[in-house]
């Protein structure tokens, strides 16, 4: 039996791609069920898209490619899919669109796949992948043959949900260039000299964070070992080891937004007794970044398979019939539904290319 397309992993991009393809389609996954990461996205509510989608919300070493990929899936397309299955959703700050229940979003994608007669194999251990003549041979304890192969394995974030570096290793096997990966949308650990801030664990406040030539606004949350919250998660997309993080704890030019507990902690640290004298310290707080909370806490992976390896259809230039979609690519979005959106967009790009050679 020869499949038209085999898709490796049943996450957001893999399911979307499978639901749009023609022919005999097989999706294989090492997990026991599909969409584990979808179920935890948005705290179980699934932030499925954003009304303000643009290339500016993404980081890539080939930023010029992002606009063209976003053309394959719009925010309206996401809304239409959600509405088709009568899934309730809401708009939140910054144009974020949240479904009421992530499980229903996953069920909608699976339903689309069932309508398309997609076959699934779960709990699969892929032992090897080779290309022989015009066919891909995937060894899962038995040989599976396919005309096309789509890598939708995601990145290294959320390893407890089955994430791995399989897609990166496969790209390396086929001699494709990789952009160095690191955890992203993740909390940042305190250096030793800032451990006093662990006393503020649980305190949140609005901030502006500057890193390189980027300024991020939003809430910062103090944690026991570091800082997190939306502003910090987005900052982690841009920061590299050795970069200076410039944090403005008074972005609205008033101490009223600084909780009393935080104010006292900083006053004690700087040995300042008058509130107005601590203002400049809070406005111009900075430190050198060392490390993050790592892949165990990261929402996504930055870096991945370079788009320089891939043509406009995300097919490997040197390996015909081999495609990459979703998080395994060197395209990473900010917090706000951008990563799920680009997963859907890249999936549709590949599906159209395969359906219309």
Q: 3-state SS of the chain? A: CEEEEEEECCCHHHHHHHHHCCCCEEEEECCCCCCHHHHHHHHHCCEEEECCCCHHHEECCCHHHHHHHHCCCCHHHHHHHHHHCCCCEEECHHHEEEECCHHHHHHHHHHHHHHCCCEEEECCCCCEEEEECCEEEEECCCEEEEEEEEECCCCCCCHHHCCCCHHHHHHHHCCCCEEEEEEECCCEECCHHHHHHHHHCCCEEEEEEEECCEEEEEEEEECCCEEECHHHHHHCCCCCCCCEEEEECCCCCCHHHCCHHHHHHHHHHHCCCCHHHHHHHHHCEEEECCCECCCCCCCEEEEEECHHHECCCCEECCCCCEEECHHHECCEECCCCHHHHHHHHHHHHHHHHHHCC
Estimate the crossing angle of helix 275-283 against helix 260-270, to 10 degrees.
Answer: 90
Q: What is the CA radius of gyration of the chain?
A: 22
Which pLDDT score, from 0 to 100, does residue 298 have? Answer: 93
CB-neighbour burial class of residue 243 (10 A; exposed 0-12, middle 13-18, buried 19+): middle
**What integer pLDDT is reported at residue 211 of this predicted model?**
96
The two beta strands, 47-50 and 96-99, are: antiparallel
- Alpha carbon distance 244, 218 (integer Å): 18
* Residue 340, pLDDT score: 97
Which pLDDT score is estimated for 239? 95
Judge whether 327 and 154 are in contact, CB under 8 Å: yes
Please give the pLDDT value at position 328: 97
Residue pair 236/228 in contact by the 8 Å Cβ criterion: no
CA distances, 155 to each of 37, 151, 152, 275 (Å): 11, 11, 9, 45
From the list 169, 174, 179, 182, the residue with the least C-alpha distance to 315 is 174
| CA dist., res. 221 & res. 210, Å (int) | 16
Which stretches of the chain drop beneath a pLDDT of 50?
Answer: none
- Phi first, then psi: give them for residue 2, nearest 5 degrees: -115, 125
CA-to-CA separations, 295 to 44, 164, 281, in angstroms, rounded: 19, 10, 32
Which two tokens mark 247?
Answer: 């944090």
Give the pLDDT of residue 38: 94
- State residue 159's pLDDT score: 72
Give this prediction's pTM. 0.94
How many Cα atoms are found within 13 Å in the side-chain-facing hemisphere of 248?
14
User: Residue 273 has what pLDDT?
Assistant: 86
């Amino acid at each position: 039996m020869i499949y038209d397309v085999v898709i490796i992993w049943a996450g957001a991009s893999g399911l979307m791609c499978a639901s749009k393809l023609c022919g005999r389609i097989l999706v294989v996954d090492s997990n026991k069920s599909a969409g584990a990461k979808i179920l935890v996205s948005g705290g179980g509510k699934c932030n499925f898209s954003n009304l303000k989608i643009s290339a500016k919300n993404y980081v890539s070493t080939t930023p010029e490619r992002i606009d063209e990929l976003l053309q394959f899936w719009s925010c309206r397309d996401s809304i239409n899919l959600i509405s088709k299955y009568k899934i309730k959703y809401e708009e939140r700050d910054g144009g974020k669109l949240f479904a009421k229940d992530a499980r229903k979003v996953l069920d909608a994608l699976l339903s689309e796949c069932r309508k398309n007669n997609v076959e699934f194999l779960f709990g699969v251990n892929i032992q090897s992948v080779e290309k022989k003549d015009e066919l891909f041979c995937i060894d899962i304890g038995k040989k599976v043959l396919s005309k096309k192969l789509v890598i939708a394995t995601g990145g290294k974030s959320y390893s407890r949900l089955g994430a791995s570096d399989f897609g990166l290793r496969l790209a390396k096997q086929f001699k494709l260039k990789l952009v160095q990966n690191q955890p992203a949308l993740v909390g940042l650990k305190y250096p030793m000299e800032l451990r006093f801030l662990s006393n503020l664990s649980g305190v949140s406040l609005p901030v502006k964070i500057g890193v390189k030539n980027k300024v991020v606004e939003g809430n910062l949350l103090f944690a026991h070992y570091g800082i997190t919250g939306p502003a910090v998660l987005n900052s982690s997309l841009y920061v590299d080891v050795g970069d200076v993080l410039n944090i403005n704890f008074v972005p609205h030019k008033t101490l009223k937004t600084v909780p009393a507990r935080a104010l006292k902690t900083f006053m004690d640290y700087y040995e300042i007794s008058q509130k107005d004298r601590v203002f400049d310290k809070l406005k111009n707080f900075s430190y050198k970044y060392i490390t993050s909370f790592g892949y165990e806490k990261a929402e996504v992976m930055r870096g991945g398979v370079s788009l320089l390896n891939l043509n406009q259809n995300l097919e490997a230039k040197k390996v015909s019939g081999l495609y990459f979609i979703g998080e395994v690519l060197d395209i990473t979005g900010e917090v706000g539904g951008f990563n799920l959106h680009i997963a859907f967009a890249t999936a549709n790009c590949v599906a159209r290319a395969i359906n219309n050679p």
